[in-house]
Homo-oligomer: A and B are copies of this chain.
Amino acid sequence: MKALVIYSGGLDTTVCIPLLREEGYEQIYTVTVDVGQPLEDLRQAEERASVLGACHTTVDAKAAFAAEYCVPAIQFNADYFGYPLSTAIARPLIAKCAADVAKEHGPFDAVVHGCTGKGNDQFRIEYGLRLHLPGVPIRAPIREKNWTRSAEIEYAERVGAPIAQSKHKIWSIDENLWGRSIEGGALEDPATAPPEEIFQWTVAPTAAPNEPAEVEIGFEGGVPVQVDGEKLDPLALIQLCHHLAGQHGVGRIDIMEDRLIGLKVRENYECPAAVLLITAHQALESLILAPHERRFKALVDAEWARLVYEGLWGDPLFEDLSAFNQAVQQRVSGSVRLRLYKGSVTVLARSSPWALYSEADASFDDSSFEQSEMTGMVRTHGMSSLLYAELKRKFLGD
């Protein structure tokens, strides 16, 4: 029997390999999809796979991730109750890349992932696998065995699987280009302030430079294409923004999150590029979108965020919302100037050829607007509400 393990090199996925061997899978393939996690993680995955006798592939998906996943996240102002969906948008791509490897090296008797039963990723990964690899059995050994972290470590030690020594890995961490999540340990108490040690991508605001930095982001058709006048492809641009924002302490997020199964958890994130780019994009949209459009797009954005949080990249509604947004984004061109300073990002200026803004119309010293004609609109404003008040006075008294 032959299995493909979606492999991060961490504890959850490492223990799967000896476990699968015990079940009789002789041929084990592993695949790590590089969406911007640290190089040492990729190396560790390779090494451990080799130690465990698996046939390993690393897929460099960074450019695709930036262009096809992060850019839409910007265009939909990715926000699930404060979370810019950093882990969420990577899962569909990881599943897709794993499916490609499965097609190349397959057929496989099982595709295997390390997700547990309380989390969101089991939904995202399995949906992606069913979407791109219909009919291939999916295995989730940790969930199937109902293993806790301690149980996994015990098993790993027993079978001699290559894991980090300590049973006390304090934080559970996930990283990609778009963000870094930190959960577990002391953070499980919502009344505990996050300790400085959990952060790696952003400096503490108090340790950030004393001089504010200004940065100008240029957009074309909803895509960020320039930083301070320099043309960059999405990957390079996100990496640069990551660096710029991070060094000013911008991008730390500390929220209560409602997981897919209805469980409330406390999550910390570092998303410097996401926070900077979405702030800029939203400021540009506020200049360009018409009032009804702006209000309704907020609903569309929220719905997209919910779908993506649930991993349903490819749902019919996902496609429909994308068509809506393409219609919007084609004119989201222009530039936004922002200031980064000790943990905050502030919009200073925005301009666009498609601005629905007329300085003349907005001015207080415009006599072309015949103000007196507004009487009727003002008089009819709240008409039904006034009729209601009249009835209240009549029936209920003053």
Contacts and interface: CB of A to CB of B under 8 A. Distances in A.
A294 interface: yes
Interface string A245-281: 0000000101110100111111000000000000000
A173 to B, nearest CB: 12
A331 to B, nearest CB: 8
A151 to B, nearest CB: 8
A118 interface: yes
A292 B264 contact: no
Interface string A377-395: 1111111111111110001
A307 B292 contact: yes
B254 A346 contact: yes
A306 B293 CA distance: 13
Contacts of A348: 193-194, 254
Interface string A152-195: 00000000000000000000100000000000100011111110
Contacts of A264: 287, 291, 355-357, 362, 384
Contact of A123 (B147, B322, B326, B378): B378
Given A343-B342, A386-B131, A365 B148 contact: yes
A341 B343 contact: yes
A52 to B, nearest CB: 23
Taking residues whose C-beta sits less than 8 angstroms from the other chain, chain A's interface range is: 35 or more
A364 B290 contact: no
A81 B258 CA distance: 24
A127 interface: yes
B341 A261 contact: no
Contacts of A387: 356-358
Contact of A382 (B262, B299, B380): B262
A374 B143 contact: yes
Contacts of A151: 367
A56 to B, nearest CB: 26
27 contacts: A127-B382, A140-B378, A143-B371, A190-B355, A205-B342, A205-B344, A206-B341, A255-B286, A256-B286, A262-B383, A264-B362, A266-B357, A290-B315, A292-B303, A292-B317, A299-B299, A316-B328, A319-B327, A323-B323, A324-B327, A342-B343, A343-B346, A353-B395, A354-B391, A374-B377, A374-B380, A377-B377
Interface of A: 81-82, 116-118, 122-123, 126-127, 130-131, 134, 140, 142-151, 172, 184, 188-194, 205-206, 210, 212, 252, 254-256, 258, 261-266, 283, 286-287, 289-299, 302-303, 306-307, 310-312, 314-317, 319-328, 331, 337, 341-344, 346-351, 353-359, 361-367, 369-391, 395
Given A130-B386, A143-B372, 15 more contacts: A117-B369, A146-B370, A149-B364, A188-B359, A191-B351, A193-B337, A206-B212, A258-B294, A262-B291, A291-B384, A292-B316, A293-B316, A316-B385, A374-B377, A374-B380
